[in-house]
Amino acid sequence: MNQQDENATKVAHLTSAHGRFDTRIYLKECKSLAANGFDVSLVVADGLPDESRDGIQFYGVEKGQSRYTRMRRSSRLVYLKAKSLKADVYHLHDPELLPYALKLQKQGARVIFDAHEDLPKQLLSKPYINPLVRRAIAWLLGVYEAYVCRRLSGVITATPTIRDKFAKINTTTTDINNYPLLGELSTESSDWVRKSPSVCYIGGISTIRGCAELVEAMQSVGGPVKLQMAGNFTDSTIESRCKQSGGWERVNYLGYLNREEVRDLLAVSMAGLVTFYPSPNHVDAQPNKMFEYMSSGIPVIGSRFPLWQEIIEGNNCGICVDPLDPEEVAKAISFIVQNPDTAESMGENGKRAVEERYNWGVEEKRLIDYYTKLNERTS
């Protein structure tokens, strides 16, 4: 068990959809709270044994074998375990836990919902759901989400855009951005002479993230340039499309990489790619990978969305492109590889921006301040 002051605020983070070592939940929020004197537990539906590490008590409950069982059975098991902990604050990370939020609050606890995504917009981006059906479902979920969150102690969001939406229904709303941990993915020095003529994509490999266009773009990139692709394919359709593309022979597919392997890949890459489609859930998003590329000191080739342009072009740390145009993506890759001095300067600009503004140290202070004020308002 945690060796905490007996008067410390007991905080329980709950997730039915994420892993126990999730970057936002565990590495950032839970560890920051524990380091600042809170008594922290994490209830997670992963089927693994209970354990204690880094001042955090983990409680594992049964993992759902399908999306349906996760949303119904696993979420209820998370709730039942959480209820038994009798925490002062419950911090919920998944929409399927919202049906239990008000029940926990009736115990006299404070309850926070952490909106990682804009759920209705996310649903509108699902191409496999009939357009009329997904609009109806998105509307209904939006109404329900607002009904519950209006009554909660507070809401935390992962981006300013999602914050603005929730602030209209709950005044105790703030954004805690998913900025990188300083030093986690950067090396002490970036030796550009030793970098290979390659660019990288790291993350889930899906259609809506523009991955097929990235592979297709490689056909038009001059010279012996490789696309280092790290991550798992989300479905067989995108896997077949990528592997049947003429650009696949220029791809080095690495599969899933752990954090140390990601750092090693970034160290030898000349740019990082994040060319998501312009879907409702993407245009105002702040992808972790964008900031992780910046923190490692390499340029970002990203989608030409206004918010992303503000970050990438505003800090002169990369190039924005039309994600649906493989030729434009290819030109950006070629420019980076053919102009290493400019690329190195862009990388330095991005790293400096992260060190000064876009880092978890800044967000940690805001998280602790939010919790402190929440306690003051309800004490």
**Mean pLDDT for the stretch of residues 75-91:** 98
> Tell me, what's the pLDDT at 1?
40
Residue 286 to residue 343: CA distance in whole angstroms: 22
Please write the tens of the pLDDT for every residue from 226-267: 999 999 999 999 999 999 999 999 999 999 999 899 999 999
Averaged pLDDT for residues 272-282: 94
**pLDDT attached to residue 133:** 85
Q: Where are the domains of the chain?
A: 10-179+359-378, 192-356
**Centroid of chain to Cα 364:** 16
- What's the DSSP call for residue 26? I
**One fold for 10-179+359-378 and 192-356:** yes
- Distances, alpha carbon 308 to alpha carbons 96, 275, 286, in Å: 29, 10, 8
pLDDT band for 278, please (50, 70, 90 cuts): very high
Token duo for residue 331:
């030109």
- Whether the pLDDT of residue 306 is over 80: the answer is yes
Predicted pLDDT at 299: 98
**DSSP string over 275-317:** -----TTTTT---HHHHHHHHTT--EEEE--HHHHHHHTTTT-
Does residue 4 surpass a pLDDT of 70?
no
Average pLDDT over residues 153-172: 97
Q: Please say if the pLDDT value at position 7 is more than 90.
A: no
pLDDT at 222: 87
**Residue 379 and residue 373: Cα distance in Å, rounded?**
10
CATH 3.40.50.2000 fits 192-356, yes or no: yes
> 89-116, pLDDT tens digit by residue?
999 999 999 999 999 999 999 999 999 9
pLDDT at 187 over 90: no
The single-letter code of the amino acid at 369 is: D
| Cα distance between residue 255 and residue 191, in whole Å | 25
**pLDDT for res 227:** 99
Residue 194 has what pLDDT? Answer: 78
Mean pLDDT rounded to a whole number for the chain: 93
Classify domain 10-179+359-378 at the CATH superfamily level: Glycogen Phosphorylase B; (3.40.50.2000)
pLDDT tens profile 28-67: 999 999 999 999 999 999 999 999 999 999 999 998 777 7
Range from 27-31, 207-211, 279-283, 323-327 carrying the lowest mean pLDDT: 279-283
pTM of the model: 0.86
The pLDDT of residue 2: 45
Which residues, in sequence order, are CB contacts of 208 under 8 Å at separation 6+? 125, 127, 276, 277, 279, 282
Identify the residue with better confidence: 121 or 87.
87
Under DSSP, the state recorded for 65 is: S
Q: Work out the percent of the chain whose per-residue pLDDT is above 90.
A: 82
Q: Does residue 3 register a pLDDT over 60? A: no
The whole-number pLDDT of residue 325 equals 98
